[in-house]
Amino acid sequence: MKISNIDVSSYPNSEKIYIKGSIYPDISVGMRRIKQYPTVEIIDGHRVEHQNPDVVVYDTSGPYTDPDVDIDINIGIPRLRESWIEGRGDTEMLPDITSEYGRKRMDDKSLDAIRFPRKISPRRAVEGKRVTQMHYARKGIITPEMEYVAIRENLNNKELGIDSYVTPEFVRSEIAAGRAIIAANINHPESEPMVIGSAFSVKLNTNIGNSALSSGISEEIQKAVWSCYWGGDTLMDLSTGDNIHETREWIIRNCPVPVGTVPIYQALEKVGGKVSELTWEIYRDTLIEQCEQGVDYFTIHAGVLREHADLVGDRLTGCVSRGGSIMTQWTVLHNQESFLYTHFDEICEILNKYDVAVSLGDGMRPGSTFDANDRAQFLELDILGELTQKAWEHDVQVLIEGPGHVPMHKIRENMERQKRVCHDAPFYTLGPLTTDIAPGYDHITSAIGAAIIGNLGTAMICYVTPKEHLSLPDLEDVRDGVIAYKIAAHAADLAKQYPGADVRDNALSKARYEFRWKDQFNLSLDPERAKQYYLESRRNAPDADDKFCTMCGPNFCAMRISQNIAEKCGQ
Amino acid sequence: MKISNIDVSSYPNSEKIYIKGSIYPDISVGMRRIKQYPTVEIIDGHRVEHQNPDVVVYDTSGPYTDPDVDIDINIGIPRLRESWIEGRGDTEMLPDITSEYGRKRMDDKSLDAIRFPRKISPRRAVEGKRVTQMHYARKGIITPEMEYVAIRENLNNKELGIDSYVTPEFVRSEIAAGRAIIAANINHPESEPMVIGSAFSVKLNTNIGNSALSSGISEEIQKAVWSCYWGGDTLMDLSTGDNIHETREWIIRNCPVPVGTVPIYQALEKVGGKVSELTWEIYRDTLIEQCEQGVDYFTIHAGVLREHADLVGDRLTGCVSRGGSIMTQWTVLHNQESFLYTHFDEICEILNKYDVAVSLGDGMRPGSTFDANDRAQFLELDILGELTQKAWEHDVQVLIEGPGHVPMHKIRENMERQKRVCHDAPFYTLGPLTTDIAPGYDHITSAIGAAIIGNLGTAMICYVTPKEHLSLPDLEDVRDGVIAYKIAAHAADLAKQYPGADVRDNALSKARYEFRWKDQFNLSLDPERAKQYYLESRRNAPDADDKFCTMCGPNFCAMRISQNIAEKCGQ
């Protein structure tokens, strides 16, 4: 598949490999193995080659980069987890979808043209069962999903002859304690399990989705595949325009990473955008609709209380969370606590029937550095802590969403307070943006904050694209956003001294020092762009094998001189 | 003047203002005053306008954005500081340039075509005098340069009715203590004084310059003006190709910010690139040549010792500093300490005749995260501390250059150790880059490190462009690099709680909340790009006055909903 002129069906000089499970031998964890060229030395006039080891890296691209898998978006990607889910024997296939709205859409012939062509029956826990990874973990059960992520998290994996750091039992214990989650709806068996928790490598989420003014279904699928290709670990579909239901079905059936949504957006569409007409019944039906489609985590702004409305007025930029502003308005219009808060137990009892994680939304996140760490924000955080414990009572896995706009000196307080009041549930932050003055470059203002808070213990960072505050991102913006956040997440992994995180850095640096340009490109986060920048300036030397670049020219290359010194010193 | 389709002779909806001195009434400090549109409210059906205050910001663009100054690059920009320098009565005009090489170039008729057309006589301290800002500061003298930067550093300046934080006396005391410098060669009177020190706002340096493979004189001047327009505080000319001498003259005569160089590059060109043939005499002549042209600070890798050559061999990426690798090689070839180290006192006695600051180069900076904080690096830092004290004995102002590639958890040690062993001399770091795996995006890998180390006390950060490691930056790369570093520097100022730093953030955030799109653009670091991104998606609404953007669309704009809530709540 080619997207924006880049072949997303393979990575350069790389192959897809699969690592088998031990507890569950039918597990195959896809990884990317990057091959390297040898280091060449001339000794006594003879060319001597020293092999350089393959570098195996975490791979979020799923089957798209496996040449042995035929991809047809009309069929969807392979249903990797289906047999594991069936094997547990605690779920049942439903004859029809449960949601009233979902059934109405299904019966609407006018939607046939845009509908995903395969009908997939939904699955639900059998009466009286909870089917969440947290439920199993607490029972002491290591699921295939847990072994899968354990293998995946060993960045210095067996391919490199290094012992495993992450064991399946460690994954289980982190999930049981609520310190990590595997977002894995039983209705999204296409998703490759991944873990979000501060003891693991830092993950990044990307947002896609149309708004009333913009893009269509095929563009959204492209964005999803594109996001996975560049390294997005999870994907939120934030669509607010037409045909949300149908668009989502296409995305989920073709998405190898967990998919998140903010159900209140669709609920609001259902009442024609009139906040006052939102009801628990409509919201509940929307939750079930999306649970049965396979959404893996829901952002739910259940921490927004009636009293927040008063605090918003004291702010420079009010409430900048869409879901938060909708719920705040609802509490004002109805003069009562939101149905998300009052019905939270019922919500959890729906979620644990499908294993959908709740991502407790920060409706009061600061939208400017001025508003950072204020009373509205921290009051809500306290409520999120309370709801966390409630969700855990129902065995529902929990993420806590965090800001937003926060100057650097106020970042640490966010992390420490979140850990304390939310009982070590994984933190999932948007940036934070460390200054307000750079619209057009907020992938950078926020990558700074994301790297810092990732190092402090945030489990997942939500990307920001260059178009933040200005318009919807296009494909190139998604790429820029993902790479900026891969940088932030990886910088945090290095700073956390996460085992094996430095293998890729060291291999790339060695390649750089030895002028193995192709290896330098192939090992980089964006091989295409690195190569393009290099070659643009070397039109006469497309081979990319010279022992210098145009930055310093041939006579001033420190690395070349440095090698000469090493040779002189007999090293 | 238009560069790359952008009119660099003004900023949008801004005017150039000048703030007068008190001690020296003839001082006029140029600032940029950004005007704002009023906030419009409809009260009882009537349109009510609330004025928003002008925002006055630090301005590095010099006379280029003053419509009252005619710019002719063949004449050079106004010589702002000339009368101040003359007024001190401790310098003299020389009948001819002192450097042998410089005279040879001057006599070479074949260079007339590329030579800067005006002949400017060099100025030097009269016999027995030292003319450095540090010398005056230690004598208790507040110079016009010191009052100039004091006015400039008050980001919350008098225009806003806020008292001054930075006083001229405070500037003097910081310079006397060596904790800050004003790089201001008496032969570069075109330069607007600026201060580099941890007690002041964080500054950023940009690098331009041709290499043997690339660009010409006019392109380098364009890059210099371009860099100042976007916010570069100082500018290093790192040219290594042809006509270094002539290119530099053009740049200095037209540059409103301090200019730095690495003299060893030119010295090496003079001996045909043969490191073994470098001598103290050639280097000395090069220093004098550049002192008399007006270079404001020299990077001198005097801390590279013979023993470093052995340590380089233990590294993953050897020595990646061009100057450092040259000097290491020299010490090996000659098996003796470098002439930069052995002649350091003489170097200082040259520099204090012109007031050129020394920027002690980190020849052993790590070129990979693997090599960060190693013995070679810290051994050199100790030597730089020793040389700092030596320079100060000669009243020479000192900067200390720092790394390089450093993972986040090793950044703090760099700063704390530099402060300790270099006696609080200002630190000037290249990034640091927090991971090695993102060639093509190293403006981002390094902006993360730069923001962090800026917050910890680094006085100036040296930008990195997207093309780092790959090729020479073009104009768009310079822009991307400068903005990334403006972000890092400003994020650090906010985190340092530098007085007034948040004025611009708060104004922009208020404009954003009130949908004053034009103000949001005008207050941003790159108004052109912000506007472009917004308008690209709004082809039908070029007026940019709508109360939403395509990111969320009209129904899901949290800010709009939030305003409705505020109105509902009677706020």
* Nearest chain A CA: its distance from B488 CA (Å): 8
Looking at residue B562, what is its pLDDT? 73
Indicate the pairing of strand A460-462 with strand A203-208: parallel
Neighboring chain B residues of A333 at a CB cutoff of 8 Å: 568
Contact B444 A441 (CB under 8 A): no
* Nearest chain B CA: its distance from A547 CA (Å): 12
Report the distance separating Cα B530 and Cα A446, nearest Å: 16
The predicted-structure confidence for A207-266, as pLDDT tens digits, reads as follows 987 655 555 778 888 999 999 999 999 999 988 777 889 999 999 999 999 999 999 999
Name the residue in chain A with its Cα closest to that of B407.
A495
The two structure tokens encoding residue B550: 């395509």
Query: Which residue type is seen at B365?
Result: R
- Cβ(B266)–Cβ(B249) below 8 Å: no
Neighboring chain A residues of B301 at a CB cutoff of 8 Å: none
Report the residue of B562, B567, B569, B571 to disrupt the A interface, i.e. the one with the largest count of A CBs within 10 Å: B562
Contact B211 A240 (CB under 8 A): no
Closest-CA residue to A279 (of A291, A293, A268)? A268
* Nearest chain A CA: its distance from B209 CA (Å): 10
What's the angle, vertex CA B35, arms to CA B257 and CA A470, rounded to 5?
A: 90
Contact B329 A565 (CB under 8 A): yes
The two structure tokens encoding residue B98: 């002192």
* Nearest chain B CA: its distance from A34 CA (Å): 13
Looking at residue B406, what is its pLDDT? 98
Contact A333 B530 (CB under 8 A): no
Q: What is the DSSP string of B330-375?
A: HHHHHTS--HHHHTHHHHHHHHTTTTPEEEE--TT--SSGGGTT-H
Q: What is the DSSP string of A268-292?
A: HHHTTT-GGG--HHHHHHHHHHHHH
Contact B550 A472 (CB under 8 A): yes
Q: How far is CA A200 from the centre of its chain?
A: 14
The model's confidence at residue A570, banded by pLDDT at 50, 70 and 90, is very low
**Does the structure show a pLDDT above 70 at A505?**
yes
Contact A558 B497 (CB under 8 A): no
ipTM summary value: 0.96
A522's CB contacts (< 8 A; 6+ apart) are A11, A12, A13, A14, A34, A35, A36
* Nearest chain B CA: its distance from A313 CA (Å): 6
Q: Which residues pair with A181 in a beta bridge?
A: A196
Looking at residue B571, what is its pLDDT? 43
Looking at residue A21, what is its pLDDT? 93
* Residues B18-28, mean pLDDT to the nearest whole number: 94
Report the distance separating Cα A399 and Cα B134, nearest Å: 55
Nearest residue, CB atoms, B212 vs list A241, A496, A553 = A553
Looking at residue B450, what is its pLDDT? 98
A169's CB contacts (< 8 A; 6+ apart) are A142
Looking at residue B215, what is its pLDDT? 56
The predicted-structure confidence for B98-140, as pLDDT tens digits, reads as follows 999 999 999 999 999 999 999 999 999 999 999 999 999 999 9
Contact B471 A438 (CB under 8 A): no
Report the distance separating Cα B128 and Cα B97, nearest Å: 19
The predicted-structure confidence for B500-543, as pLDDT tens digits, reads as follows 999 999 999 999 999 999 999 999 999 999 999 999 877 655 55
Report the residue of B487, B522, B528, B569 to disrupt the A interface, i.e. the one with the largest count of A CBs within 10 Å: B487
Nearest residue, CB atoms, B509 vs list A241, A322, A370 = A370
- The answer to whether the pTM exceeds 0.90 is yes
State percent of chain A over pLDDT 90. 83
Report the residue of A39, A204, A562, A563 to disrupt the B interface, i.e. the one with the largest count of B CBs within 10 Å: A562
The predicted-structure confidence for B336-348, as pLDDT tens digits, reads as follows 999 999 999 999 9
Name the residue in chain B with its Cα closest to that of A561.
B325
The predicted-structure confidence for A30-57, as pLDDT tens digits, reads as follows 999 999 999 998 888 999 999 999 999 9
Contact A265 B506 (CB under 8 A): no
- Cβ(A412)–Cβ(A427) below 8 Å: no
Q: How far is CA A113 from the centre of its chain?
A: 30
Q: Which residues pair with A430 in a beta bridge?
A: A462
Nearest residue, CB atoms, B555 vs list A212, A214, A437 = A212
Closest-CA residue to A278 (of A330, A243, A238)? A330
Name the residue in chain B with its Cα closest to that of A321.
B558
CA distances, A217 to each of A121, A209, A237, B293 (Å): 22, 9, 12, 62
Neighboring chain B residues of A239 at a CB cutoff of 8 Å: none
Instruction: Give me the count of residues in chain B.
Output: 571
Report the distance separating Cα B431 and Cα B448, nearest Å: 8
The predicted-structure confidence for A118-129, as pLDDT tens digits, reads as follows 999 999 999 999
Report the residue of A370, A509, A524, A563 to disrupt the B interface, i.e. the one with the largest count of B CBs within 10 Å: A509
